[in-house]
Amino acid sequence: MGRHGTIANRKSAQDSKRAAMFTKYSRQIIVAAKNGGDPDFNPALRIAIDKAKSIGMPNDNIDRAIKKGTGELSGENYEELIFEGYGPSGVAIIVVALTDNKNRTAPFVRSVFDKHGGNLGTPGCVSYMFFRKGVIVIDSENLDEDEVLMLALDAGADDMIVNEDNFEIRTEPSSFSDVHKIIKEAGYDIFEAEVEYVPSIESNVTNPEDMKSIVKLINALEDNDDVQKVYYNCELVEEE
Check which CATH number belongs to the domain holding 222 and give it. 3.30.70.980
Q: Please state, in angstroms and rounded to a whole number, the distance separating the CA atoms of residues 191 and 163.
A: 13
**Residue-wise pLDDT tens digits, 166-184:** 999 999 999 999 999 999 9
Query: Number of helices (H) and strands (E), helices first, in the chain?
Result: 8, 8
For 152-172, the DSSP string reads HHHHT--EEEE-SSEEEEEE-
Looking at the fold, whether 57 and 176 belong to one and the same domain comes out as no
**Residue-wise pLDDT tens digits, 25-34:** 999 999 999 9
**Residue-wise pLDDT tens digits, 46-84:** 999 999 998 899 999 999 999 999 999 997 899 999 999
Confidence (pLDDT) at 7 = 63
Confidence (pLDDT) at 15 = 60
Local structure of residue 103 (DSSP, 8 states): H
CA angle (148 as vertex; 45, 171 as ends), nearest 5: 45
Looking at the fold, whether 116 and 209 belong to one and the same domain comes out as yes
In a domain, 162, yes or no: yes
Looking at the fold, whether 59 and 101 belong to one and the same domain comes out as no
**97, 81 contact by CB (below 8 A):** yes
Looking at the fold, whether 12 and 116 belong to one and the same domain comes out as no
In a domain, 1, yes or no: no
CA 20, distance to chain mean position in Å, is: 14
Confidence (pLDDT) at 54 = 87
Domain that holds residue 52: 7-70
Task: Report whether pLDDT(196) > 70.
Answer: yes
Task: Report whether pLDDT(138) > 50.
Answer: yes
**161, 226 contact by CB (below 8 A):** no
CA 86, distance to chain mean position in Å, is: 19
pTM of the predicted protein model: 0.89
User: Which of these, 201, 196, 195, lies nearest to 126 by C-alpha position?
Assistant: 201
